[in-house]
Amino acid sequence: MNSDKIRKVLFVINPVSGSNQEIDLKSVISETCPRHGLRPQFFETTGDHDQEKIKEAIAGADPYAVVAVGGDGTVNLVAGLIINSAIKLGIIPTGSANGMAFELNIPGRIDESVAIIGADVSKRIDLLRINKKHLAIHLSDLGMNARIIKRFDQEKIRGLYGYARQFFKELKSPSHFRCTIACDGQKRRHKYKVVMIAMLNTHFFGTGAVVNPTGKINDGRFEIVVIKPYPWYYIFHMMVAFFTGHIHRLRHVRTLSCQQAIIEMVSPQDLQVDGEPIGLVNRVKLEVLPLPLTSYTIARKITSS
């Protein structure tokens, strides 16, 4: 490989993410990179002031790409540091929740995800800003899923098993809340009674369920998916619709497409952003950030009808 084509890549590794803590990630990545014309450098997160430290590492490394090696929390952290720059975002999905990797069709095998960075196929994507301070790359929500994520975080049982445990606990005692939603400065606020509200620019939950089949990641808009209370016997129907890309057609689901929106809750509700619990909020202000990030991806066809 011609040395002037070798690209510097900074890998930001979350050593505690998911259940892959046994693998020597640095060795595997170091062995794989030269085959794809990449020169790796590494940064390990500690959970303490990572943002500032990664910022310094990026300034020192001057990389072509920064790769988040972890779950959606690590992807969000890295994305926030390279938006509005020429640096590209890569992902090696090793988290409990890898929704953004699923969205971008990035495989779980390290050699395959490194090969995508080597192939240098990328696209620009929109992001969301929530309440002026939280950057959201994958999926944020209010209500049921945010409560599940809060308890998952508190119980510290990581991996899919930990999430499934909390999901079934929540199903035993579902609750709803009332809110109003105003899109794109409309004076008229729509009133809803809901179980949860997803706010996203992407298509999939980390499990692969299609929550937003009609959305586009680069159209300058985002979607608010309102899930209204449904009878218990409807759950199977909902699950099938989630996995076949038809959730938007159910009468208990409403999808709004906007550039900005305000959601106001009658009682405070849990908010989560890209898998990180934020806490209780009364009001959520959403705005799209058009195309501030370039991300590696493999094209995928999403079917909706």
Ligand X SMILES: Nc1ncnc2c1ncn2[C@@H]1O[C@H](COP(=O)(O)OP(=O)(O)OP(=O)(O)O)[C@@H](O)[C@H]1O
Least distance to ligand X, CB of residue 22, Å: 14
Place of tokens 């500032």: 52
Question: Is the CB of residue 190 less than 8 Å from the CB of residue 178?
Answer: no
Q: Which of 158, 203, 221, 248 binds ligand X (CB under 6 A)?
A: 158
Q: Which of 10, 11, 67, 73 binds ligand X (CB under 6 A)?
A: 73
Which CB atom, from 162 or from 290, has the smaller least distance to ligand X?
162
Q: Which of 10, 14, 101, 248 binds ligand X (CB under 6 A)?
A: 14
Least distance to ligand X, CB of residue 140, Å: 14
Encode 88-119: b = buried (16+ Cβ within 10 Å), e = exposed.
bbbbbbbbbbbbbbbbbebeeebeebbebbbe
Q: Which of 32, 45, 145, 201 binds ligand X (CB under 6 A)?
A: 45
Question: Is the CB of residue 132 less than 8 Å from the CB of residue 285?
Answer: yes
Is position 95 an interface residue for ligand X (rule: CB under 6 A)?
A: yes
Is position 141 an interface residue for ligand X (rule: CB under 6 A)?
A: no
Q: Which of 63, 245, 275, 277 binds ligand X (CB under 6 A)?
A: 275
Name the closest residue to ligand X (Cβ).
Answer: 71
Query: Which of 88, 83, 85, 42 is CA-nearest to residue 65?
Result: 88
Is position 215 an interface residue for ligand X (rule: CB under 6 A)?
A: no
254 - beta bridge partners?
226
Q: Which of 40, 63, 70, 213 binds ligand X (CB under 6 A)?
A: 70
Per DSSP, the residues of 263-286 read EEEEEEEEEEETTEEEEEEEEEEE
Place of tokens 């994958």: 138
Is position 18 an interface residue for ligand X (rule: CB under 6 A)?
A: yes
* DSSP code, position 170: H
x/- string (CB under 6 A) for ligand X, residues 47-66?
x-------------------
C-alpha–C-alpha distance, residues 275 and 3, integer Å = 39
Residues near ligand X, by CB under 6 A: 14-18, 45-47, 70-74, 95-97, 158, 275-276
